[in-house]
Amino acid sequence: MRDSERVELYLSGSSARLLSREVATSMRGRAMEALVLPFSFREFLRHRGVEPVGGTSRLGKSRRSELDAQLRRYLSEGGFPEAQGMADA
């Protein structure tokens, strides 16, 4: 289907029985691995538009409190871009 039609096919998931190097051979075709890394905390802040400019040592108490709240949010939501802003399940 990939060779005859103009489609993009994404296969995702995991299997405890297969090692990552065995997945490509088990699919019996072409495979391209895409590594998706989570945001760092600074990238998380940048994504939200609240990244502090300059060093953090000169921040006031209210700004530090805001960053603390953002850190708690980062730790609870995680750093994956697609998960940002999703409602809790």
* Interval 6-18: pLDDT, tens: 777 666 665 555 5
Write down the pTM of the prediction. 0.57
Q: Is residue 34 part of a domain?
A: no
Tally the domains of the chain. 1
* Exposed / middle / buried, residue 84 (Cβ in 10 Å: 0-12, 13-18, 19+): middle
Query: 33 — phi, psi (to 5°)?
Result: -85, 135
Residue 9, in any domain of the structure:
no
> Do the beta carbons of residue 44 and residue 74 sit within 8 Å?
yes
Give residue 4's pLDDT.
Answer: 73
Residue 12, pLDDT score: 66
- Low-confidence stretches of the chain (pLDDT < 50) are none
pLDDT at 81 (0 to 100) = 82
Q: What is the pLDDT of residue 71?
A: 94
- Answer yes or no: is 51 within a domain: yes
| Domain span at 46 | 41-83
User: Which pLDDT does position 65 carry in this prediction?
Assistant: 92
Crossing angle of helices 41-48 and 61-77, in 10° steps, is: 110
Residue 53 included in any domain: yes
- One-letter amino acid of 13: G
